Every structure is written in C-alpha cells, then in structure tokens.
Amino acid sequence: MKLLVTGGAGFIGSNFVRMALTDKFPEFSVEQLTVLDLLTYAGDEENLKPVASDKRYKFVKGDIRDLELAKKLMQDADQVVHFAAESHVDRSIEGGSEFVSTNVMGTQVLLDAAKSSNIKRFVHVSTDEVYGSISEGSWPEDHPLLPNSPYSASKAGSDLLVRAYNRTHKLDTVITRCSNNYGQYQFPEKVMPLFITNIIEGKKVPLYGNGLNVRDWLHVDDHCRGIALALTKGRAGEVYNIGGGTELTNVELTHKILKAMGVGEEFIQPVEDRKGHDLRYSVDISKINKELGYSPQVNFEEGLEQTINWYKNNEAWWKKHKQSAPAIK
C-alpha cells in the first residue's frame, strides 16, 4: 500500500504513522508512506523521529490547501488518510476563520486532488463532536449533525463535503468519527496532557464549570486500529464511529488523574465554563464492531498510567510545546 497521510506530524496522525511503519496493523503492509504536514504549532516532526530512518517514509512540509502539491503527492499514492485539521475548541471560539479555511477548504482541495488522481480510498478522520450533545443513549452514524462550536461545525462541513464527493463523483470515501483521544504525544493544551503536565509542574488543573460534562475516552492506539480497519475493510461511502467505551464526567476524569499521580483535590482550580460547552458525547460503536470487528483493547486505567509515565519521561518534549503554543485570548 502506498499511503499519503495528511497531518501526520500531529498527535493522532503521528501515532498512526508510527504504528503503520512498525507493522502494528495486520490488515495491510506499507510499501511507501508520505506525510504531508504544515507543522503549525501542534505539529512536530520530532513525533515521527522513531520511524524517520525507515526507507519507506517521506516527509513533506506543505499545506493541504495547496492543490498542485496535493495532486503531485497523490500521483505516488493509492490511499489517503486525512488527519490534518485545526482541532482545539477554545481556539475556535476565539476565532473560527482558520478552522473553516483548514478543515473545510483544505478538505475540499484534497478531495479535488483525489478525484483527479488514481486514489483507491480516501479516509476522512472526523470527530463525535459533529453530533452535538446527547443527554442519554448513544449516537448511531446516521444521527443528524448538530455541531455547537465553530470547530465541530467546520468538521461537520468537511464530513458533508466528503459525503458529497462520494455521491457526486463516486470517489471511494470512508468517514470515521472518534470520541476523546488520549495517549502519548498529545499536545499539552488538551485536557489530559494539560492536567498531567500541570501536576508535574506543581500547578493546579483548570476544571470547567461544575465538571459534570461527560466524554467517552479512547486510547489513541485503539483509534488508529479502528482507522486501519476502516481503510482496509470499510464500505465505500460509509461512516464508522470509533469509541473507547469509558464514559467519565470531567470531575471523575480529574480525580482519576489526581489519584494516579498521588496528589489531592487541592490541585483543582474551578474556572468559568466554556461557551456552548456540550454536556455529553457518546458514540454507538456497534456498526464498526459488527462490520469490521473493532473493539477497544486498551483498558482505561492502564492507558492512563502509560500516558502519565510517558509525560513524566518526556518533559523536554512537552515543555517545548507549552512554551511555544500561541496564547488563547
């Protein structure tokens, strides 16, 4: 398989690349893998250092909104896995234009490039946030898209474009929608690495509102395994939810992190709630389980311990990113 991976220097994308090049996916073998990444603040080529010497690997710094570059790279690929996106909700609340430009227009450019190339499959990696908020039960893939933040609205727009190119141009596309990811190499503005690194630094952790917002937690390795299944076994034009099966309120998550790191509630700093903060996310994963054989493999407590240990052992990595991250106004 000749893969083009967009956003492959980011958190989830780099994990997928490392797993692909170390034969962690039994569904396929890699003949060639090209990463396209603009290396914005959340992307880091260092994330790919473990596989950088692999002769099958090539890195290209570039913008997914560059049509000619996208066409050129797709000439040497037969499959595309599209991770590249602006993804931080708080940043989208402060300003949505970059999210629309990258997530919507960037996806449209890639789809146009794929349409004019010999791409056999285009996998679009999306999020459960496009569904909005659900008080009880879990979303199936055909649930209406009701996004509540500029970020999730931009991802919903990109999802609909992918669907449209499948229906209009018969492009072989698959969409995956994941729940909250955690694991190694996650940029420290996200809740779990932010809390972990703050505690390491002796700082308090900011807990939004009453802390009762519920999220399903998915280890990044499980997410990547689900994407590999969608890439190789998914049906063209379909959507697959990928979840972790561990629903926690933010308060419960916070207490689990505090306990695992041996500190108490004095580290909690309540802060004003986020605007438009969705109460609960929950994806139904019965479709990907029945059709593709997916189920999460990483136990949450074990995954949390592994994640904490990774950040403890990689202070230089996350301190660099905390210092270089642009401030949220």
Residues carrying an active site annotation: 128-129, 151
Hey, how many other C-beta atoms are within 10 angstroms of the C-beta on 296? 24
Contact in structure between 280 and 134 (CB atoms under 8 Å):
yes
Contact in structure between 126 and 158 (CB atoms under 8 Å):
yes
Residues facing 174 on adjacent strands: 123
How remote is the C-alpha of 186 from its chain's centroid?
10
At which residue do the structure tokens 């459960």 appear?
128
Q: State the Rg of the chain over Cα.
A: 19
Secondary structure (3-state) at 81? strand
At which residue do the structure tokens 């996310």 appear?
281
Greatest distance between any 2 Cα atoms in the chain: 57
Structure tokens at 190: 């996200």
Residues facing 242 on adjacent strands: 178
What is the C-alpha separation between 8 and 107, in angstroms, rounded?
15
DSSP 37: E
At which residue do the structure tokens 């919903």 appear?
156
- Angle (deg, nearest 10), helices 315-324 and 300-313: 80
CA distances from 44 to 12, 13, 219, 227, 310 (A): 12, 11, 20, 21, 17
